[in-house]
Amino acid sequence: MTFSLLPAFRLLGILVAIAVSIFAPAAYAQSQPDPLKIAMVLWRGETNVEQGFRAYFDENSIAVDLTIYDTARDLSRVPAIIDQIRKDPPDLVYTWGTGITSAVVGKYDAVDPVQNITDLPVVYVMVSSPWKTGIAAPAGQSRPNVTGAAHIAPLPAQINAIRAYRPMDKLGVVYNSREDNSVSNVADLTELGREMGFEVLAAPLGSNGEPSQDDIPPAVAELARKGADILYIGPDNFIGNYRDTLTDAGFANGLAAFSATELEVRDGHAMLGLVSRYELVGRLAASKVEQILIDGISPADIPVETLDRFSYLIRLSSARKLKLYPPLSLLDYAEVIE
């Protein structure tokens, strides 16, 4: 039996050798894959998040072809951008912030295949409350094409960070009542206040149409009059746009500002913040892109995550203006910005 099979094996060997000689160049070509084609829909151009995103691919020698779509803080541009994306479909869509992400992927239970992207994987960043805003599906469910990286520290940790700097019983919040994530954040803070023993003094803007920059100073003055100990800047695009107006109003009224996001301290004048470093958020998002496009894992199987370490930022120039210097013990671990 062995004897009779020998010619058959020999024939098989010859065939394999021929196949290898024919297909080897093609296989070699495939080991140098095309760059990952990623469409990035951004709120206000590139930030440190995108720098971290790019750095991750560079360091891991993953070629990427990034197409930037900047909305320039205008959500009405999103439908047109989606149309453009559909004309030249990328491998994955990257979205920045709650507003853009919500417009691109819709709410988990109200997806419109015409208006929202459903056939491409989407990775979002800088969405402060993905579950509250319906961008992420509730626990136990998942979205087939959407995952992302959140960036906000848990609210109790934020309150403890404020209290590590100075005592706080009344937290003043100026926010845009037309932004879902701001409204839900203020509701969460109010509930937390009952547990942790502080009162939220809320100053909603935009209850009579779109809010304007001029609404901010009187709102801050009113909070100061009510006895607010500190101003809270949450994940609010409107306040983010006019952060300096808010902090200047704070200085005028002797109120410091705490921020849950990095830029308000690093680029603005908020006195302190407990934040996720934007660059690290970008890297976290990039690792999710790698899992989807290289490892072939479905977005539905990749959890929405936040970083587990946060940076305590102190802007000393603001502290000096208010004569509210940081306690000695904070200087051991805070990042002090002049």
Binding residues (CB under 8 A) for another protein: these are: 316, 320, 323, 325-332, 336
Nearest to another protein of 221, 316 (CB atom)? 316
Nearest to another protein of 288, 315 (CB atom)? 315
CB of 327 to another protein, least distance (A): 3
* The pair of three-digit structure tokens given for residue 275, joined into one six-digit string: 């934040």
Residue 30 host element (H or E): helix 2-30
CB of 313 to another protein, least distance (A): 14
CB of 230 closer than 8 Å to CB of 259: no
The 8-class DSSP code of residue 25 comes to H
CB of 338 to another protein, least distance (A): 8
Q: Which residues contact 3 (CB under 8 A, 6 or more apart)?
A: none
> Which amino acid is present at 174?
V
CB of 57 to another protein, least distance (A): 37
Nearest to another protein of 21, 329 (CB atom)? 329
DSSP secondary structure of 68-136? EEE-TT-GGGHHHHHHHHHHS--SEEEEEHHHHHHHHH-BTTB--TTTS--SS-EEEE--S-TTTTTSS
CB of 198 to another protein, least distance (A): 20
CB of 182 closer than 8 Å to CB of 175: yes
Buried b (16+ CB within 10 A) or exposed e, 25-61: eeeeeeeeeeebebbbbbbbebbbbbebbbebbeeee
Nearest to another protein of 34, 332 (CB atom)? 332
Q: Which of 246, 204, 250, 197 is nearest to 228 (CA)?
A: 250
The dihedral over CA atoms of 134, 135, 140, 143, expressed in degrees to the nearest 10, equals 130
Nearest to another protein of 25, 167 (CB atom)? 167
**Dihedral sign of CA atoms 62, 303, 125, 171 in order:** negative
Nearest to another protein of 17, 331 (CB atom)? 331
CB of 271 closer than 8 Å to CB of 219: no
Phi, psi of 173 (to 5 degrees): -125, 115
Nearest to another protein of 308, 332 (CB atom)? 332
Whole-number Å distance between alpha carbons of 186 and 188:
5
CB of 181 to another protein, least distance (A): 34
Nearest to another protein of 119, 332 (CB atom)? 332
CB of 167 to another protein, least distance (A): 12
CB of 334 to another protein, least distance (A): 10
* The pair of three-digit structure tokens given for residue 297, joined into one six-digit string: 């894992």
